[in-house]
Structure formats: C-alpha cells, structure tokens
A and B are shown apart, each in its own frame.
Chain A
Amino acid sequence: MIALAFFISIIRMATPLVFASLGGMFSERSGVINIALEGIMLFGAFTAAFVSLSMGKELGFVAGGLGGMSLALIYGLIVIHGRANQIVAGTAINLLAMGLIPLFLKSLYDSTGGTPSLSMDQRFSNLPILFMIIALAGAWFVMKKTSFGLNVSVAGENPEALDAAGISVILVRYQSLAVCGLLAGFGGASLSLFLASGYTRNMVAGRGFMALAALIFGKWKPVPTFLACILFGAFEAVQIRLQGAEGIPPEFLQILPYLATVLVLAGFVGKAVAPKVIGIPWKR
C-alpha cells in the first residue's frame, strides 16, 4: 500500500515534467532550442489558475495550454523571423514571464505573490495524470506515424530537403513551437491546478530546465524522455517524503532533484546526439 502511494506520488511529480519535455521535444526536434520552457510553464501555470478561478478547472487547464502556446509563439517570432540567438531569446522570455505575471496579479488580485488559493473543485485530484499519458501516446504517435512528425524531424536534421520538397521550414517550426507551448502550458497548468492549489511566485522552480535535461537524457525521443522524467519525479517524491525526517536538513533534501539533474546530464549525455541544425535559424 505504501509502495503504491509512493509510486503514485512519483507519477504526480513527474506529470509537469513530462508535459514540458514532450513540448520541448517538438521544438528541439524541429531545430529550435527551447530554454524558454521555464517561462512558458510559468505563464501556463498562471493563466490556468486565473481561468480556473472564474470559469472552472477544465477551462483553466485548456487556458494553461493556450497561455503557454501564445508565449511560445512570441518566442518563435523572435527566433524564427527575428533570427535572434536562441539562448539569449529564451532567457529573455523567462524574464518576461517572471516580470509580466506579477504585474497582472497586482491588477487582478492586488497581490504580486500569487493567485488566491483554489478550492477543491477548482483543482484536479488525479485527472492530469491521464492527460499526461494521452499526451505521451499522442506525441509518440505523431512523431512516429504522421507526416507532420516526419516534417518536424526533417526540419531539425536536414531543412534543405524539406524546403526542396516544397514544405515551408518556417511553418513547420512555428507549428512545432505551437505544440510545444501547448504541452508546456499544460505542464504549468498541472503545477497550479494539480500539484499545488493556485499560482505562487516562480512556482516552476527550474522544472523547465529539468525537462530539457530529461529531453537530452532521453535522446529527444518520447518514451526514453518520459522515463527520464519519471526518474526526476522519483527524486522529487523522495525529497518530499524525507522532509521532516530527523537529522537531515531540509535544504539538503531540496537540492536532490537539482543534483540528480546535474549528475544525470553528466553521466549519460556523452553519447546524446542533438538534432543536426538545432539552434541555427533557417535561411533559404
């Protein structure tokens, strides 16, 4: 029984990570590095909580995805049409989310710390886990079995070939970023509507970057990436479980997921091969 509870807690903690890293997969497989995942999740978490408070959790969850998508498309505009350095632009998007959200919170709720707490029926008990599994199956299916999935990988490996086949590299990358934003936004929504009850300041706490690490560890493939997220989820679950245990300072437990990320990245990434033209803006 305890083992089952612990297993569920791992899956719970992994849920936002899985959404975000699947989103990151679409972006990066199409050739766009996405450091902005952190800010996209944050924005998704905020829009989800905001809408859930007034219109219910279902619409809230959808709004999280749409909020993430809109920020991801702004990011797309900057790096695809603007051709800005993707790491600089991603950092800027993260800063933008960190700055904009408190401004909105202030005018909406007269507080910069977060939204009011959600009531029990404004948040989910376990449903986002199911959504996450559907997203995983969907992402796997799209990447493996559909022409869109093929286009995404070709955009990241050999964009000239895609262009020669008469398909717009730029369009495929925008589409990939839209999917990325939607999924990462769902990741944010599962933080504010599922793991927590409401939006709190900077609640993503590095999960966007952990999702990127999971993506690299999973070699940009859906199922291995999912397993990497489960691993990170396990460290978070252990961390939470051990809080309050005698003799271990809570600060040392808090660093477990971060330390695990560094170690996993250091231990296994040596052989990971990134999409070939990742980070390079498309020019015909």
Chain B
Amino acid sequence: MKDALLKTLAGLIFGFLGAALISWIVGESPLFVMKVMFESAFGSVYNFGLSLFYATPLIFTGLSVAIAFHAGLFNIGAEGQLALGALAATCFALWFPSLSPWLGIPLALLFGAIIGGFWGWIAGWLKEKRGSHEVITTIMLNFIAAAIVSWLVTKVYQSPIVQSPETAEISEHYFIQERDPLYQIFDGAPISIALLFAIGLAIGVWVLLFKTKLGFEIRALGKSESTAEVSGISSSKVRQIAMFLAGACASFVSFAEIIGSAGKYRLGFSPEYGFMGIAVALLARNNPIGILFSAFLFGALHKGAADLDIETEFVTRDLSLVIQSLILIAVAIAIEWKKGRRA
C-alpha cells in the first residue's frame, strides 16, 4: 500500500516536472504556469466547484476502464460508450417529458446504461466470438458512435431555436439544477448530485469487484484465463458482462452533463472524458475507491489547464494532456520497477 502510494507520487512528480520543462521550452515561466493552473483549479469556491464538476464524469469513465481492466480487457471505448449512452438518456427524457423526476431520472439513466452497455458489450462479444482485439474494436466503435450521435443530434433531435448542434432542452422533471442541493453551494458552478451518485457507484463497483462472486470471476479472468476456466468460470460470459458493465458506467456521464448541468445534449461536450478515464484508472491502480481521488486530481488538472489559453502567451490547455501522458508513463514504469529487479 505504501509502495503503491510512493509510485503514484513519483508519477505525479514526473508529470508535473515534465510539464514545467515543456512550458520552459516553449518560452513560459514554469512557476507562472503552475500558479495559473493551481488558481484556476482551486482559487475560488466557483473554481473548486468546476474542478469537482470535471471530476464527476472522470469517476464514471475511470470506473469503466477499471472494470474492463480487472477482466483483463483494455477499454479505450469509454468515449463512444458515454456519447451514445448520454444521448440515449437525453432521448428518453425528450420522449417522456412529464414523468415524475423520481421515476423519469432513474429510467433515463437506466436506458442510457443499457445503450452504453450494449456498445461496450459489442467489443467484448467480438473478442469472444471472433478474437478481435478489443483495443482496435473499441477505438473504431468510438468513431462510429461519434458519427451516429452527430447524425442523431443534428438531423433528428436538433433544437429548432439555436444554431449550435444540440438537442432541445429536457423538461424540468429531468433537469434538476434549480433544486439541486449541491448546485447551491458552489457559487453557480454546474456541479450536481451526480457527484454523490458517482461516489456511490464507486463504492458499489468496489463491492461488486471484491465482495461478490461475479467480481471474483472478473478478477480471476483478468489474472489468468486458463486458471479461471479450470476453476469452472465461463470466461466467455464474464468477459461480455464486464464489457457491458464498463459501457454502462461510462454512460452515467449523462447524469453529470445532461441531467445535472446542461439540460440538453451538446455535440462534442466531452473533452475526451473517455481517454482521460484511462489515466484516472491507471493512477488508482484500478481500485474504485482510489478512482475517486485520481478523478478529482485529473478533474482539477483539466480545470486548471483551461485557463492557460487566456492567462499565458504560449502554453495552452493541451498541457493537461501532456501531464496526463507523462503521469501514465511514469506510473506504468514504476509498477514494473520492482518486478524487474526481483527477476
């Protein structure tokens, strides 16, 4: 445990040092860049609320990547799963505008989860039946999902009253911002009870993975397919279930984005939450509780970098991608470090 924390810390330090170096190379004071990022992420109640707002979807996508990873699968498809899942939840809200919130919101989330889960399941099924590598399949499914969503939003559900590509607004039964207890606290930052749901989901996924038979089977499959098969686990079934659950987790981004803040599906709302989920999950070593913390860190990083575009001359928000990748690299090396020495 202490060892794992040290490695994580080493990864973080490496990531930020690398970012400082790159800032310096492009001609900006590293200290100033770090100061802008820190203030942008934590400088006010509103900014802190926005960091939490960005952290919420990352909890969902981090959990999505982690579940698949525990089953020995690499889910790069959270981006497509969340896009289709979130649009499905939006559609449900548009189809049944007058359901009571207590019925409508859970059903919309459930419908989104089924569609997002289905999109994840495709990759698991293809891997199982045809041996297709899930990394390539999920990437391709991301592009396909993006095109389907783009068509549905602009051609079928396009809001008639605005120019930008977005759906009509969902009814007040679904769009709960005005009544949201968390929204009142953060000075107007678009944070919502989706954060509480995300925390609950993380705990639920932890229980599922470490305290249930299915979770045991998922982890056994991830450790060794042959051993899992010998102990009577159907790797085929478990793999497909794991990918379905991964897609379902990603789809809950709809709670934070559609139901919690925007009230509609805006095309391109996700700043690659799906890809960021990979870094979130890895930094937490795929532990659902750890994901809560790493999602917060990457949420703050994303928010912090957002102000770089205006505050600095040469550094842009893309610096957060660089930091993420450096953290990923350092942690991936650190994980193997000791193993190498022992062998």
Contact = CB atoms under 8 A, between A and B. Distances in A.
Interface of A: 35, 78, 82-85, 87-89, 91-96, 98-104, 106-107, 112, 205-206, 209-210, 212-213, 216, 249, 251-252, 254-255, 258-259, 261-262, 265-267, 269-270, 272, 281, 283
27 contacts: A35-B135, A78-B329, A84-B332, A85-B335, A91-B328, A92-B326, A92-B328, A95-B275, A96-B322, A96-B329, A100-B322, A103-B315, A106-B315, A112-B316, A206-B140, A206-B143, A216-B133, A258-B140, A261-B136, A262-B137, A262-B141, A265-B130, A265-B136, A266-B129, A269-B133, A270-B130, A283-B340
B234 interface: no
A106 B316 contact: yes
Interface in B293-322: 314-316, 318-322
A106 B26 contact: yes
B223 interface: no
A78 B140 contact: no
A82 B338 CA distance: 11
Interface of B: 22, 26-27, 74, 76, 126, 129-133, 135-137, 139-141, 143-144, 147-148, 150-151, 155, 275, 278-279, 282, 314-316, 318-326, 328-329, 332-333, 335-336, 339-340, 343
B22 A103 contact: yes
A147 to B, nearest CB: 29
Contacts of B315: 103, 106
A249 B139 CA distance: 22
Contacts, number: 154
A252 B154 CA distance: 13
Given A91-B76, A95-B279, A266-B126, 17 more contacts: A78-B332, A87-B135, A88-B282, A95-B322, A99-B318, A99-B320, A99-B325, A100-B22, A101-B318, A103-B322, A254-B147, A255-B144, A262-B137, A262-B141, A265-B133, A265-B136, A267-B130
A205 B135 CA distance: 15
A91 B143 contact: no
Contacts of A205: 143
A112 B137 CA distance: 29
Contacts of A265: 126, 130, 132-133, 136-137
A103 B328 contact: no
Contact of A104 (B26, B136, B332, B335): B26
Contacts of A78: 329, 332-333
Contacts of B27: 107
B286 to A, nearest CB: 11
B322 A99 contact: yes
A11 B188 CA distance: 54
Contacts of B129: 266
Contacts of A270: 130-131
B314 A106 contact: yes
A213 B155 CA distance: 32
A65 B10 CA distance: 33
Nearest to B332: A84
Contact of B318 (A98, A251, A262): A98
B132 A84 contact: no
A99 B321 contact: yes
Given A265-B132, A269-B130, A84 B333 contact: yes
Contacts of A89: 328-329, 332
Given A98-B321, A249-B151, A107 B140 contact: no
B336 A99 contact: no
Contact of A258 (B130, B143, B319, B324): B143
A270 B128 CA distance: 10
Most buried by A among B147, B319, B343: B147
B105 to A, nearest CB: 29
A103 B309 CA distance: 10
